[in-house]
Amino acid sequence: MTKGTVKGIISNLVYVEVDGPVSQNEICYIDLYGVKLMAEVIKVAGNIAYTQVFESTRGLKPGNTVEFTDKMLQVKLGPGMLSKNYDGLQDDLNKMEGMYLTRGEYTDPLDEDSIWHFTPIAKVNDTVEAGDWLGSVPENWIDHKIMVPFLMEGKYQVKSIVLEGDYKITDTIAVVVDKEGKEYPLTMVQYWPVKLPIKAYQSKPRPFKTLETGIRTIDTLNPIAEGGTGFTPGPFGTGKTVLQHSISQNAEADLIVVAACGERANEVVELFTEFPELDDPRTGRKLIERTIIICNTSNMPVAAREASVYTAMSICEYYRSMGLKVLLLADSTSRWAQALREMSNRMEELPGPDAYPMDLPAIISNFYARAGYVYLNNGQTGSITFIGAVSPAGGNLKEPVTESTKKAARCFYSLSQDRADSKRYPAVDPIDSYSKYLEYDEIQEFLNQNIAPGWVDKVYKAKDILLRGKEAKDQINILGDDGVPLDYHSRFWKSELIDRIILVQDSFDSIDKSTPMKRQAYMLNLLLNICDTNFDFESYEELQPFYSRVINVLIQMNYQPFQGDKFKEYEAQLESILAERRVK
């Protein structure tokens, strides 16, 4: 085992002189007078290893000894991860004692004493490979698959597998043999280096269907694909975190992984306190039962921010290999990028824009590329849909993290300070935001067949109405109500219809907080028909009260059960109002 000695310290960057070989991303432990501090090798130059320490380095001095483990930063995978609160290194936070984290304290992410009811899937003499399902255990409401370890290469034959029954995760549940006759006992536990993507699947096609989130401004105007990527940049206070929480509650996903990588502690506390109390509309149980939280707040060690996003993604890939739809939400990737900048600066690397690493776009792109829709070896499918939040300083969407993420993510949900100030939530700007998935032929075909014929054309038409309305509003603000033609007022109020009924959503209302696509399609068709109708007005003073009445009735429709009695009453009332001014 390679050992070393501390030679220099710059905050959490520690230079270690080694007496043997070490590798990139290898984990080591620095001895601080009996307390073991975990660190990761991020650069090797001769016999000097540059390590980033995942703890405070206060009190560390040159001469402290270091032991290298010959293992990379890895996650421990197996039954028992659901409903857990982990830090960036996958330590179980609930097992830690005291109000504050103790330096050098690391906990087991899984409970090795728990009993799980195992049901075999594979049979004796079956040929298996990495990622193949050996059996399953129930974990909350999920059918947790026990798989051949991802690190095993080649084909194996099942020599024996246990009968259905109750076992611990450390019990041997199967024995497989390679082509040379060597036996490998397998348990329910396996390990995986977080910096490497898990590729235990047959193929990874381009996304071809959308993921329903229940958020109208996303599903209707800028849909995200199942297995797709998106991000939500915006100034502080515009609702990035709230939007992510709303998506996690209502999205059509089997499993939610929330990575709080550098957010303020008070926002993360909301996760810990609210999720256990929230009802899950998909299962009728509590949302926390299908949620895993990776918590690395802004006042926790900066180096662990980077580890937290990779830990979260590796856990997602593990569950994707079980054939599940996984939704990963990261808040905020800007803090991850800032951690990369700090380490790059301390190593005196050539800085890029705003002192971020030169390879920041490549790092972000490689990470986003780990999401996706896959076909597994057994023909089943699984997916990881990734939505990250970006917190640009001062709301500047031209800064490097936002620009780099734009190149990697296919959906851009820009949060507007003006919309937030006017209480139009979610504050997603309909003009600046986009979804590149609308350009995919496969997505267009899926939407036209499963939502409504000609759906994509209707979406572009709604976007055009919003754009024309914004242009008309700008002209009215400059020239005044009397200084523009009546048509400008008409265009503005038609855009207000789309804005107030489709874009604005009440997350506190049990009905309006999540809208199924069938209802979204019905309402969009209704609004477009109104926008296509000619109404008779003699002056702009007649426009505002008319459209205000129309909007108020439509808002009430949003609060009623779809096609219920009250919904139809308001619909009849709407038709009566429209008939007053409709040109015959």
Contact criterion met (CB below 8 Å) for 25 and 195:
yes
Burial of 427 (0-12, 13-18, 19+ CB in 10 A): buried
pLDDT given for residue 496 in this prediction:
97
AA letter at 68: F
Each residue's pLDDT, cut to its tens digit, for the chain (584 residues) gives 899 999 999 989 999 999 999 999 999 999 999 999 999 999 999 999 999 999 989 999 999 999 999 999 999 999 999 999 999 999 998 898 877 778 889 999 999 999 999 999 999 999 999 999 999 999 988 999 999 999 999 999 999 999 999 999 999 999 999 999 999 999 999 999 999 999 999 999 999 999 999 999 999 999 999 999 999 998 888 988 889 888 988 999 999 999 988 777 667 777 778 778 888 877 778 888 899 999 887 777 777 888 999 999 999 999 999 999 999 999 889 989 998 999 899 998 999 999 999 999 999 999 999 999 999 999 999 999 999 999 998 888 899 999 999 999 999 999 999 999 999 999 999 999 999 999 999 999 999 999 999 999 999 999 999 999 999 999 999 999 999 999 999 999 999 999 999 999 998 899 999 999 999 999 999 999 999 999 999 988 999 999 999 999 999 999 999 999 999 999 999 999 999 999 97
Contact criterion met (CB below 8 Å) for 511 and 560:
yes
Q: Where are the beta strands (DSSP E) in 262-342?
A: 291-296, 325-331
**Residue 368 neighbours by CB distance under 10 Å:** 23
Strand order, beta sheet including 183-186 = 127-128, 156-161, 174-177, 183-186
pLDDT given for residue 273 in this prediction:
80
Measured distance CA(460)–CA(96) in Å, rounded: 52
What CATH code is assigned to 455-581? 1.10.1140.10
Contacts of 97 (CB under 8 A, 6+ apart): none
pLDDT given for residue 211 in this prediction:
97
pLDDT given for residue 269 in this prediction:
75
Reduce the DSSP state of residue 459 to 3 states and report it.
Answer: helix
**Which tokens go with 10?**
């710059």
What CATH code is assigned to 216-435? 3.40.50.300
Measured distance CA(222)–CA(3) in Å, rounded: 53
Give per-residue burial for 135-160: e unless 16+ CB within 10 Å, then b. Answer: bbbebeebebbbbbbbebeeebebee
pLDDT given for residue 99 in this prediction:
72
- The class (CATH top level) of 3-72 is mainly beta
Residue ranges per structural domain of the chain: 3-72, 116-188, 216-435, 455-581
Closest CA to 454 of 467, 462, 444, 463: 444
In the block, residue with structure tokens 């009993």 = 115
CA R_g for the chain = 27
pTM: 0.95
CA separation, residue 101 to residues 97, 105, 108, 273 (Å): 8, 8, 15, 19
CATH level 2 (architecture), domain 116-188 = Beta Barrel (2.40)
User: pLDDT of 252-293, one tens digit each?
Assistant: 999 999 998 877 766 777 777 877 888 887 777 888 889 999
CA separation, residue 242 to residues 175, 236, 331, 446 (Å): 47, 12, 11, 29
